[in-house]
Amino acid sequence: MTKPEKKALVPALRFPEFRDAGEWKTVKLKYVAKCTTLKNTDGRNNRVLTNSAEYGIVDQRDFFDKDIANQNNLEGYYIVEKGDYVYNPRISTFAPVGPISKNKLGTGVMSPLYTVFRFNDSNNDFYEHYFKTSQWHNYMRVVSNNGARHDRMAISAADFLAMPLPESLSEEQQKIADCLSSIDDLITAQTQKLAALKAHKKGLMQQLFPAEGETVPKLRFPEFRDGWKKNKLENLIELLSGYAFQSEYFSENGKKLLTPKNFTKHGAANFNKENTKFTIEECDSKYACRQGDLLLLLTDLTPSCELLGKPILLKENEEVLLNQRIVKVTPKNPLDIRFLLYFFSTETYHKRIRDTATGSTVRHSSNKIVLGTQIYMPSIEEQQKIADCLSSVDELITAQAEKVEALKKHKKGLMQQLFPSMDEVGA
């Protein structure tokens, strides 16, 4: 039998000036970089860095708002210089074989569980982008042994340094790096715009609803000057508690369940492949929720209670079954349901829910706490005006978030074409 013809190592997309430059080559990591294992023996450097799968290398104190590592026991940590690369063997959704990231922050120390390496050539931005692709993942799976711990890759230093890397003309590599870096800059700018819109909405909400101890908001539309009326939510709404669906009926199809994992900080549901459950269990039709229904989460797995009491207003085509520890809000009187959505998103309301929460590991609130919450209500016309204002900002936020996502997808598609497939390169 004849051997199958080896596929040429060339990317699907090349810049015009390099189309006649021939095939790319492969080079083992050990020939272009070396591991660095300099330890923080005197303990002087106490800036602990972390390689996050989602965010890259970050300062541990900034990322976690506290020190995770023992500050008195950093002598065994590796010193990492700016420009060094770090491999974190921990597996996650964002990094199925662990992330490799470039340190852009400056000198710090990192756990000896990480692998730190430094390229011989300082012009190595090309490889920073390469390690954001999945082209090197197959090699890691072939040479690793993750039997000891299912959440970590186990790979020897020799095997790691034998990783095959793509190599082309330095000019072509730089051109690719510049292209992808320019898209990164655009993504960063658009992400900052998204953050500014979210901050703008947060500031608006602080002014459009009364602050704690106040009876009217600081900011009002000129046509409204009447006072807001004090009331309790029990006089304005009814709550329907969810049903305890049995896990034995969970399936890959059936009717979609709304669970605590679908809640976000921003009043919209998040249904993705990882957090969505379905059931074939029959239940009363009153537990069926659809577009325009307002739902509240009454349990939270996070000690910070970040999601406890948070609302969701179901959008078009979002039909779900109401699960336990979640309640459906139904107004007794004519109310703008969007106004209630934004009220349930205020810091004043959330503080009450946090302060009255029960439980240690899993935090809980209750129908009684929600219904006993005091609220100042304006006229229905002012409710609608406030809701319209905040809804228009939400639309801007949604559009901007979609723009950021589109740019990220565009970059991902480009990366798949600008780097050649390494699947046929032997381990």
pLDDT in tens, 96-140: 999 999 999 999 999 999 999 999 999 999 999 999 999 999 999
Same domain, 140 and 244: no
Which pairs from 144-147 meet CB under 8 Å and 24+ separation? 144/97, 146/91
Torsion of CA 147, 148, 150, 155, to 10 degrees: -80
Name the pairing type of β-strands 320-322 and 255-258: parallel
Position 68 scores a pLDDT of 57
Position 79 in a domain:
yes
- Are 30 and 102 in the same domain? yes
Residues 330, 326, 273: CA angle, nearest 5 degrees: 120
Residues 54 and 156 in one domain: yes
**Helix (H), strand (E) at residue 411:** helix 380-418
DSSP SS3 for 404: helix
- Mean pLDDT of all residues in 154-176: 95
Compute CA distances 168 → 6, 9, 31, 127, 227, whole Å: 18, 10, 15, 12, 71
Q: How far is residue 48 from each of residues 85, 396, 402, measured CA to CA in Å?
A: 15, 38, 34
Residues 259 and 346 in one domain: yes
Is 172 domain-assigned? no
Q: Which helix (H) or strand (E) holds 22?
A: none
Structure tokens at 43: 């303990």
Tell which residue, 412, 357, 425, 389, has the closest CA to residue 201: 389
The CA radius of gyration of the chain, in Å to the nearest whole number, is 27
- 79 and 163 co-located in one domain: yes
Rounded CA-CA distance 37/40 in Å is 10
Q: What is the pLDDT of residue 77?
A: 93
* CA 331/CA 213 separation, integer angstroms: 25
Q: Per this entry, what is the length of the chain?
A: 427
Strands 277-279 and 311-313: unpaired
Structural domain range at position 84 = 25-167
Look at residues 84, 88, 126 and name the one whose alpha carbon lies nearest to residue 106.
84
User: Would you say residue 147 has pLDDT above 70?
Assistant: no
Read off the pLDDT band of 72 (50, 70, 90): low
Whether 401 shows a pLDDT value over 60: the answer reads yes
Same domain assignment for residues 255 and 370 = yes
- Flag whether 219 is in a domain: no
pTM for the predicted model, two decimal places: 0.85
Domain boundary among 362, 377, 392: 377
Give yes or no for residue 422 having a pLDDT over 90. Answer: no
Q: What own/partner pairs with CB < 8 Å and gap ≥ 24 does 215-218 have?
A: 215/376, 216/376
Residues 37 and 133 placed together within one structural domain of the fold:
yes
* pLDDT score, position 148: 45
Residue with tokens 């810049």: 15
Q: In angstroms, rounded to a whole number, what is the distance separating the alpha carbons of residues 90 and 152?
A: 4
Domain count along the chain: 2
Per the rule left: phi > 0, alpha: psi between -120 and 50, beta: everything else, 47 is beta
Say yes or no: 61 and 137 in one domain. Answer: yes
Contacts of 76 (CB under 8 A, 6+ apart): 39, 40, 112
Tell me the pLDDT tens digit for each residue of 298-311: 999 876 788 999 99
- Does 160 share its domain with 77? yes
Task: Identify whether 141 is part of a domain.
Answer: yes
Query: At 336, which CATH number?
Result: 3.90.220.20
For residue 107 the two structure tokens come to 């000198």
Phi then psi dihedrals of residue 211, to 5 deg: -70, 165
Do 343 and 238 fall within a single domain? yes
Q: At which of 358, 377, 396 does a domain end? A: 377
Q: For residue range 330-352, list pLDDT tens digits in order.
A: 999 889 999 999 999 999 999 99
136 domain residue, yes or no: yes
Residue 4 in this model has a pLDDT that exceeds 70: no
Mean pLDDT of 58-76: 72
Tell whether 321 is covered by a domain. yes
Q: What is the pLDDT of residue 301?
A: 81
**CA nearest neighbour of 138 among 97, 90, 86:** 97
CA-based nearest residue to 90, from 149, 37, 2 = 149
Asked, for residue 92, whether it belongs to a domain, the answer is: yes
Q: Where are the beta strands (DSSP E) in 186-276?
A: 229-232, 237-241, 250-251, 255-258
Is 325 found in the same domain as 246? yes
**Does one domain contain both 332 and 251?**
yes
Residue 89 lies in a domain: yes
Which of 138, 167, 196 represents a domain boundary (last residue)?
A: 167
